[in-house]
Structure 1
Amino acid sequence: MGKTSYRLWLTAACSALVILAGCGGGGSDDNPGPLPTAQSDWSTLGARTATAQGGRTITGNQGAQWTSTYAPPATHAGTAVQPLQYITMRDGKRLAAYLTLPADADGNPAPGPFPTVLVQTAYNGVSGQFVPALGGADELLVTHGYASITVDVRGTGQSEGQWEAFGPEEQADYAEVVDWVVRQPWCDGRIGVQGVSYLGITAIITAAQGHPSIKAAFPIVPIGDGYRDIVFTGGQVNPTFIPLWLGLVSVLGVTNPTVLTDPTIGIPVVLEHVLSAVTNFQVPTILKALVGEAETAYDGAFWQARSPLEIISAVRVPTFVVGGLRDLFQRSEPMSYEVIKRNTVAKLLMGPWTHIQAAMGMGLPADGVPTLSELTLQWFDQYVKGLDVGADRLPNVTQWVTGLDRYVTASDWPHPQASAQRLYLRGDKSLSTTTPAADERSNVAAQVPILGLCSVSSAQWTAGLLGLLPVPCFSNGNVVDSGAINYQTEPMAEDYYLNGPIEADIWMATTAIDAGLSVRVDDVAPNGRVTPLTNGLQTASLRAVDERRSRKLDGQSIQPWHPFTQESVLPVGINTPVMVPVEVFQTSALIAKGHRLRIAVSASNLPQGVPPLPTLLQSLAGVLTIYSDAARPSSVVIPVVPASALTSG
């Protein structure tokens, strides 16, 4: 993707709110296997269909570093956009397809066939021609000898049918689209799947379906679990991104040029999309979530079908996963890599990005890491074309480390050198490894449902859209922490490196019927500036944990698995102490010598989630008590890595 394309993408960022979840199953037999592994002190995190297992740490390719940019000469001078095509599905519905071929300097298509890049989008292939991250052809790939085909998924863009966001019909379409592509004269039978967000999710699901023509995948910011990652984090519905996203799909679904060029085709499609949005999916889904309708507000079959982590173990093709530490799917991007690495070659890149920034690969190249287009080209040249271009020797894991403020490589994720350290939230608001005394006091906070508006969460959970505004509180946590109970360590005597998911075990009581818990993790500089690192959110009545599916490190729970089912709801009770395990999303950060680690606990984080109306009414006008005594020792479990790992890779 060239600089001009990036500028177009940035100016279009207001319309580039992208994503949700999915499902599929298989792989081709000629793909390389995974690198060798050894037993790990980490366990995996389970899923709806799988319990936690003993972890396996990669032992191959250790010490790999970024050394040089992959920049082979172009094989073609230009690109040629072909006329709109339609693919007829099993039920007669037609999907719109946009084809771009390699061309000579005059724009004449080169003779094929070519290895092919497949992108499946809900954002209208027409918009992708102006904003490549929404599904347009990558010029770098096409001029290096790839055909590029973008398909509007069912019920979106110029495609017929009703949209249901990764529903069974849409997923069945993916396989038929692949069958169609391999039959075309411009395709040589080798396909790479890729894309940003929704497009990356379709890439993973398609790869999991096991078509032998799919040779590699390059998903950028894909979701893992539709319920837990974003839509109902901690049992609370996302009020910021989800309405914007559903609205974006709806608007782009009625932006159909064929209304003017061929009204007999365009008008019926637009009317079908409008009717579907109002009566079938978008509007009804939002209303069901807000009012707490059981099949939507609780986990179940609807969300399982839209969560790629449930089927990602079926991916058998080399896959490069790109994520962001402030992305919408920060939680599960590393977990996607963690599952795929068991069965094939996999790589992970986590940048310091929001969703929009990750789509752009903002700041790259940096620290030896090339642009995302250059990485995609190298990945596909190796695993789609079959060339030996060193993609297998790239670092297994590359993460931005906040506080160090550069990219650092590692042999695997979760970090093989991590150990679990439990820190206690003390009555005097300190944070230490010393267990509390019997008589330590508790601390209180008001249950205000609008906290977090002036915080990094407003940037993160609007996909980075609000982060484009120069608002100081989006990068400095002092404002949001002023409404929380803040527990912090003494200044660090040496650098303190944390890497991975965090669990906060909070003993609490409320004067209301229910309550939410927001747990923020911050770096506090000597001058008092607070750098937000990560956070978690949990409804108290949904605190039940399935230990069989929870992740452990050194035998301690470090990532709880909450069922979030209607059957798992537990009473909270007025002024009754209960322990609430809060999943705090993974991060990588250095708390430098002289800085402090802070855990900020409050009752809400509005940009990330608000309880459905019935729960919200039970949580209003309460006072939250956080306990810190020997009988009720609130604590956090941190994955601590030796700081020496920052230089050893």
Structure 2
Amino acid sequence: MGIVMADGCRLSARVWLPADAGTHPVPAVLEYIPYRKRDGTLPRDEMMHPYVAGHGYACVRVDMRGNGDSDGLMTDEYTEQELSDACEVIAWLAAQPWCSGTVGMMGKSWGGFNCLQTAFLQPPALKAVISVCSTTDRFADDIHWKGGCLLGENFGWGAVMLSYSSRPPDPALRDDWREVWLNRLEAEPWLAPRWAAHQARDAYWKHGSVCEDYGRMTVPVLSFSGWADNYMNTSDALVRNCAGPAQAIIGPWVHQYPHTAVPGPQVGFLQLAVRWWDRWLKGIDNGAEDDPAYRAYMIHSAPPDASAKHRAGHWVAEAEWPSPRVRREVLHLAADGGLSAPRTPRGYLSQDESRFRAVIATPQHLGMYTGEFFPMGLNAEMPGDQAGDDALSVCFDGAPLEAPLDLLGAARLVLRLSSDKPLGFVVARLNDVAPDGSSVRIAHGMVNLCHRDSREAPQPMMPGAEVEVAFDIDQMAYRLAPGHRLRLALSNSYWPFVWPSPEAGALTVTAGRLNLPVHQGSEGEWQPPQPEMAPAWKHKVLRPGKTTRRIETDLISGKVALLINDDLGDAENLSHGLITGETMSELWEVHPDDPLAARAVHIWEQRLSRGDWSVRTRAEAEMTGTATHLRMTARLTAWEGERVVFDRNFDDEVSRLFV
């Protein structure tokens, strides 16, 4: 189905309708993303949208402008054009004879972002949204920057989108596929340097950040997040701040929908979605608005496992959020490396605070076991044993616990420190240390010291000058077992999660406090429904995939590298015959003593074929840095059959103002 925008651009849509929608109109539920409904998200679409349609909804999956089988060109993420199109699509859906006039919007990641951003614009027919793995602040809490620190995945995501957006429409749907494809390739942007150039929270990032005015968030929002994902802060922000109804469900999951995500337990996301839609799109008085405001899976102590299939724990249900069952407990960083009981109720450092001297000058390869920004599955993408990184860090440990310690919310760390360099950052990890010495990451947080006072107007540090720095550690729900210890690990390197500072500096910490959200305790307060879904897509595996992930040390050069190879194999869609395949490799290398040795290389290949038709694209990207600039190069090549039809090189440098 085609949906034509006001400027004539035709967006391609797939629609699932109840059989009697023509005579009994139903509400519409929109998912609107750039990830290609014909092949990219088809496996998950087949399990979700027919299920919801079977419960009395028109489910509509739209390829954004410039992607999949749609017309047009895409220039960036979350543009004015993208959001304008979303509002037009919603109005178009509401006007269809099979639609009752009310529309909901849902999505994960990109779709989770833009359904919040569209709700912010308040199109009249949009009555509710469900946002999964999303953010309210594009600068503070997305894949580009975190605490003002430049994330390695800013480059990685640029390489992903260079690859993802390079594919053509399906010739079975469009006779003009080749012309559309070549136009896309010619116009395709290399976005990583653009994102890296915006090193403060300027107008570029404020656009699309719904936190700019929570008063506009009046459309009811149901937010899902995962503790193994790095969008775990969004649910708290929405429930705490939205002007309209907002609820949150946070599980142990990676960056996937909760009915299929690992680690388990999975939940009946689709049943919960239907309950939300029934209340806000159909007006059914089912009590959904009175469900607990904040439902969180509290993870229990267990050995570290970067490929955990399941996490032991229980569900906590808070009727209101922030919860009156959470108290703040302040622990002091002590000279002996301990976390001591509070002496005063104050939450800020005082002039008479007991002093010590701890120097943070960690090697550049610290962080190899931190996992992915948004892990997708079981291929060792979650944080592994932190003991090795802890040994390289400056650590402060609490005493062995005599009783369980339940944490629910975000910890806040306040440090008094100085830096010997103008640019630098500090990373804090909260870890659960077992009696055997193994260490599980509970949560982490970080701050670029240039952003210590303002994200909008960062300023370099004055070497040697002592300042107070305060920042939040990510939201968590975690129970430490008796006999375990809570550890605060501090570092000024975190590779490859954070791109290194240009100089290997040293931070001198002389005082600090850790403000913890301690929950009074609970046991199994919510029992979510078990997962249900529609049948899986009909396909044939032509070549199975294989993934490897390893850390290597070059004994001659001394460089340490994380190498990832992810071959997803090739599969044939038995419904329409399209054969698709994807292969990816990543290299992240650095020298322990030299931040300027940091180098990332990503290579992505996309394959599409049917009969005697075949196309292939290859995106190769590399990032390095000097003392003054970040350099990001890329090459995009496309083949039709065995013939190269497009080949372009990109070469960009970004000044290091604050990174």
Common fold by TM > 0.5:
yes
Residue 455 of structure 2: which of 546, 558, 564 is its match?
Answer: 564
The equivalent residue for 2:506 is 623
Task: Report if aligned partners of 2:365, 2:493 keep a CA contact under 8 Å in 1.
Answer: yes
Instruction: Specify whether residues 444 and 216 from structure 1 end up closer, same or farther in structure 2 by C-alpha distance, changes over 3 A only.
Output: same
TM-score using structure 1 length: 0.72
Matches within 5 A, 1:66-215: 85-103=1-19, 112-127=24-39, 130-132=42-44, 138-159=49-70, 160-215=72-127
The Cα of 1:247 is off from its aligned counterpart by 3.7
Corresponding position of 2:609: none
Partner of 1:329: 231
State the TM-score, normalized to the length of structure 2: 0.71
Pairs within 5 Å for 1:360-509: 360-362=260-262, 370-403=267-300, 405-434=313-342, 441-455=356-370, 458-459=371-372, 461=373, 463-465=374-376, 468-470=378-380, 474-509=383-418
Evaluate the alpha carbon distance shift between residue 220 and residue 268 of structure 1 in structure 2; reply closer, same or farther with a 3 A threshold: same
Change in 2 beyond 3 A, CA 1:140/1:514: same
Cα-to-partner distance string for 1:388-442 (whole Å, 9 max, x where unaligned) = 3342343222101122712111112222222222211111100112569987542
**1:218-237, aligned counterparts within 5 Å?**
218-230=130-142, 231-237=144-150
CA–CA separation in structure 2 for the residues paired with 1:113 and 1:648: 38
Q: Are the aligned partners of 2:220 and 2:244 in contact in 1 as well (CA < 8 Å)?
A: no
Judge conservation of contact 1:518–1:603 (CA < 8 Å) in 2: yes
Tell whether the 8 Å contact from 1:250 to 1:273 is kept in structure 2 after alignment: no
SS of 2:51 mapped into structure 1: helix
Asked if 1:529 corresponds to 2:442, the answer is no
CA positional deviation for 1:500: 1.3
Aligned amino acid, residue 343 of structure 1: G
The amino acid of 2:495's aligned partner reads L
Q: Residue 127 of structure 1: SS of its match in structure 2?
A: coil
Instruction: Provide the residue aligned with 2:606 in structure 1.
Output: none
1:638 aligns with 2:549: no
Alignment-derived partner of residue 536 in structure 2: none
Aligned-pair CA distance for 1:365: 6.2
1:164 aligned partner, one-letter code: D
**Partner SS state of residue 427, structure 1:** coil
> 2:240 aligned to 309, 334, 338, which one?
338
Q: Identify the residue that residue 543 of structure 1 maps to in structure 2.
A: 452
One-letter code aligned to 1:371: G
Distance (whole Å) between structure 2 residues aligned to residue 102 and residue 327 of structure 1: 34
SS in 1 for 2:147: helix
| 3-state SS of 1:138 partner | helix
The 2-side partners of 1:136 and 1:87 are apart by 24
Task: Indicate conservation of the 8 Å contact 1:162/1:272, yes or no.
Answer: no
State the one-letter code of the partner of 1:640. V
Distance 1:316-1:136 versus aligned 2 partners, 3 A rule: farther
SS of the aligned residue for 2:101 comes to strand
2:122 matches 1:239: no
Distance 2:318 2:218 in 1: 23
Q: Which runs of 5+ in 2 are unaligned?
A: 302-312, 344-349, 527-659
Tell me, what secondary structure is at the counterpart of 1:415? coil
Match of 2:193 among 268, 287, 294: 287
Cα distance in 2 for partners of 1:420, 1:497 equals: 12
| SS in structure 1 at match of 2:89 | helix
Deviations 1:607-630 (A, max 9, x none): 43225xxxx22xx23233222xxx
Whole-Å separation in 1 of the counterparts to 2:193 and 2:461: 25
Partner amino acid, structure 2, of 1:512: K
Taking the aligned partners of 1:364 and 1:393, their CA distance within structure 2 comes to: 26
Q: Distance in 2 between matches of 1:301 and 1:152?
A: 27
Opposite residue 404 of structure 2, the aligned amino acid is: D
Counterpart of 1:304 (choices 191, 206, 216) is: 206
Instruction: Provide closer, same or farther for how the CA distance between residues 500 and 525 of structure 1 changes in structure 2, counting only shifts above 3 A.
Output: same
What SS is found at the alignment partner of 1:355? coil
One-letter amino acid of the structure 2 residue matched with residue 595 of structure 1: H
Residue deviations 1:221-258, cap 9 Å, x none?
12111111131112222212x34434444434333334
**1:14-55 deviations in whole A, cap 9, x for unaligned?**
xxxxxxxxxxxxxxxxxxxxxxxxxxxxxxxxxxxxxxxxxx
Q: Distance in 2 between matches of 1:510 and 1:571?
A: 7
Counterpart of 1:482, as a letter, is: A
Would the alpha carbon gap of residues 355 and 374 (structure 1) be closer, same or farther in structure 2, given more than 3 Å must change? same
Deviations for 1:153-174, whole angstroms, at most 9, x for unmatched residues? Answer: 2232222133321111211112
Aligned residues of 2:138 and 2:209 also touching (Cα < 8 A): yes
Q: Which of residues 585, 593, 596 is equivalent to 2:482?
A: 593
Amino acid at match of 1:149: V
1:176 Cα deviation (Å)?
Answer: 1.0
State the 1:542 CA deviation: 1.8
Distance 1:365 1:564, change over 3 A: closer
What runs of 5+ residues in structure 1 fail to find an aligned partner? 1-84, 545-562, 628-632
1:350 Cα deviation (Å)? 0.5
Distance across 2 between alignment mates of 1:647 and 1:529: 27
Alignment length, in residue pairs?
506
8 Å CA contact retained: 1:364, 1:371: no
CA RMSD, aligned part only? 2.7
Who is 2:219 aligned against? 317
Residues in 1 aligned to 2:260 and 2:407: alpha-carbon distance in whole angstroms: 27
Q: Distance in 1 between matches of 2:63 and 2:467?
A: 48
Report the counterpart of residue 657 of structure 2 in structure 1. Answer: none
Deviation at 1:111, TM superposition (A): 5.1
Task: Provide the identity percentage.
Answer: 25
Q: How far off is 1:95 after superposition?
A: 1.9
Residue type matched to 1:641 in 2? H
Aligned to 1:64: none
Give how far 1:198 is off.
1.1
C-alpha distance in 1 between matches for 2:212 and 2:37: 28
